[in-house]
Amino acid sequence: MSSPANDRPSSVSGIAGAAGGLMRLGALAIVGLVLLPLAALIATAAHGTGDLWPHIVRNVLPVAITDTALLVLGVGIIAGTLGTGTAWLVAVCRFPGRGFFEWALLLPLAIPTYIQAFVYVDAVHPLGPIPTAIRAALGMTSPRDLPLPEVRSLPGCIVLLGFVLYPYVYLPARAAFLVQTASALDAARTLGHGATATFFRIALPLARPAIAVGVTLALMETVNDIGASEFLGVQTLTLSIYSTWLNRSSLPGAAQIALFMLVIMIGLVMLERWGRRHISHANVGNRARPPMRRQLSAGSATLAFLACLVPVTLGFLMPAGHLVHAAYGRFMFRGLPETLLPEALNTALFAGIGTALALGCGLLLAIAARTGTVRSPRLLRFAALGYAVPGTVLAVGLLVPLAGFDNLVSATVQSLGGPATGLIVSGSGAALIVAYVIRFLAIPVGALETGYEKVGMSLDMAARGLGEAPGGVVRRIHLPLLRPALGTAALLVFVDCMKELPATLMLRPLNFETLASQVYGEAARGSYEDGALAALLIVLVGLIPVILLARLSRPRQHLDSF
């Protein structure tokens, strides 16, 4: 019996000869690069930590596991509730401001979690602008007259991350509510169920797979966070990896904690798979009548407006406004920081190189899967594993193999009579670029896989029938049709590289600063105004993919017409 690859039409069966072999090797090398840090992590952890591990087990892990578990649980509840509730209101209800909130609820995605913590620590401390304004409005003079909850705490971190990460739930939940058939909701109303019962008994179960995906993404971002948890005094596993490697100079200890953290990430992925196990029952046909939006009463409309306004205000408007105010004050007082331009150039250079390499690798994998060059296309899905690996775990996993490569090159050059070359990869910043490629390779792989689904195989066969070579089919047909997917993926990868903090802190060269590391450093020193301009620049660039995402996620059909 022939294999599926052999059953394909000869026009798309694969790129023959040396080109096909090189493409196959390249695809497998990319997959190997993604799996390399995970294998190195296991090998590093196996070396043991001597007397340090009992100390870690006794004093570090209990607090880190407890704080991480409580943080994940709290953020999951808040992000899930906010994202699902606002998605339901925007998707199926009519109230003033609904059109604005439909896209504005995505705005918190533009502000990284560490910048949110950076802003709130500065804004809500006793002498900050928010408590000062409240005391002035109430006629109070002393900070002691207005005790406010401490933001530097585990509850403060939970609330902050929950209000930042809820859009990960809002976006898929809103899409799920929009495609639910009106007949299912109408049947519930016919049976006497009110709006609340219809939501909990019909709409919510149907949307559960999409909500599970969103909550899992929010929790993965929570586990990956390092800046917000450190600023707010929460000892998470991510922070423990960083402090064990940096403060205790124990790479094996950091690797062992990283492995434990990786198990948690695998558990989150399995949770997401479990939540999607009935996804086929939640989807409906394209011809199904979407639900008609329900006009809310005046009181309910006011509550719906406030329910959407609060997360937008706390997640974007307030922190963005504070950044603008602080950046303006810093600029008027001392002008632009001398380091801002070099840091912006460093950020753009490394993010640009990482984006170009990630797109190139993603394109090679997508073409290999399309043309059947790789016999097992499922193997290429391992390339997307990097997105599920936190930045700290990835950095620890890359340190040993890249340092080994540097040592090998240096020893080879010396054996040939040359000088020691030093840290070629680790010291030049190439390690950071490799981390960016592995971490965000899933974005172009997913975008190109989706783009290829819209390119029919008949186009390939027609071109081959007209005498076009396989390489020409890719160059003259695939690439022009994939241009929108490539552009979207490039934008998303660039912004993610620019905002990425954990791997940047651990793998950047000495005396090398990016905008993200500069914000982190200023926050660690308590000089918040000096970091405001860098933080604001990150937010402004981060707004671009959010605006694009808001435009792409708009429903094609205006439901108010039903």
**pLDDT values of the chain reduced to their tens digit, one per residue, 562 residues:** 444 444 444 444 445 556 667 778 888 888 888 888 888 888 888 776 666 777 777 878 888 889 999 999 999 999 999 999 999 899 888 889 988 999 999 999 899 998 998 888 888 877 777 788 888 888 787 777 777 778 889 999 999 999 999 999 998 888 888 776 555 666 666 666 666 777 777 777 878 888 888 888 898 889 888 888 888 889 888 888 888 877 777 778 888 888 888 888 787 777 766 756 555 444 444 444 555 677 888 888 999 999 999 999 999 999 999 899 888 888 887 777 788 889 999 999 999 999 999 999 988 888 887 776 766 666 667 787 888 888 888 888 888 888 888 888 888 888 887 777 777 887 788 899 999 999 999 888 888 887 777 777 777 777 667 666 666 677 777 778 888 888 888 888 999 999 898 889 888 888 888 999 988 888 888 777 778 888 999 999 988 888 887 777 665 544 443 3
In contact, 385 and 34? CB cutoff 8 Å: yes
Statement: the pTM of the whole predicted model exceeds 0.85? no
Q: What are the start-end ranges of the H helices in 391-469? A: 391-415, 430-440, 442-453, 457-465
Element (H, E) at 502: helix 502-507
* Cα–Cα distance measured from residue 247 to residue 16, given in angstroms and rounded to the nearest whole number: 53
| Helix/strand/coil for 94 | strand
At position 11, the amino acid (one-letter code) is: S
Neighbours of 248 (CB within 10 A): 15
| Torsion of the alpha carbons at 172, 177, 180 and 182, rounded to the nearest 10 | -170
Distances (CA, A) of 242 to 156, 257, 385, 390, 514: 22, 10, 21, 12, 18
Distances (CA, A) of 504 to 59, 86, 190, 401, 490: 27, 34, 57, 17, 19
Four-residue CA torsion sign, 31, 274, 107, 111: negative
Nearest to 31 by CA among 384, 346, 368, 421: 384
* Cα–Cα distance measured from residue 116 to residue 159, given in angstroms and rounded to the nearest whole number: 11
> In whole angstroms, what separates CA 516 from the centre of its chain?
15
Distances (CA, A) of 479 to 363, 416, 452, 485: 9, 44, 10, 10
In contact, 307 and 82? CB cutoff 8 Å: no
What are the backbone dihedrals phi and psi of residue 95, each rounded to the nearest 5 degrees, phi first?
Answer: -160, 160
* Cα–Cα distance measured from residue 407 to residue 486, given in angstroms and rounded to the nearest whole number: 37
Element (H, E) at 294: strand 294-295
| Helix/strand/coil for 6 | coil
Burial label, 323 (beta-carbon count in 10 A; 0-12, 13-18, 19+) = buried
Residues whose CB is less than 8 angstroms from the CB of residue 379 and which lie 6 or more positions away in sequence, other chains included? 28, 31
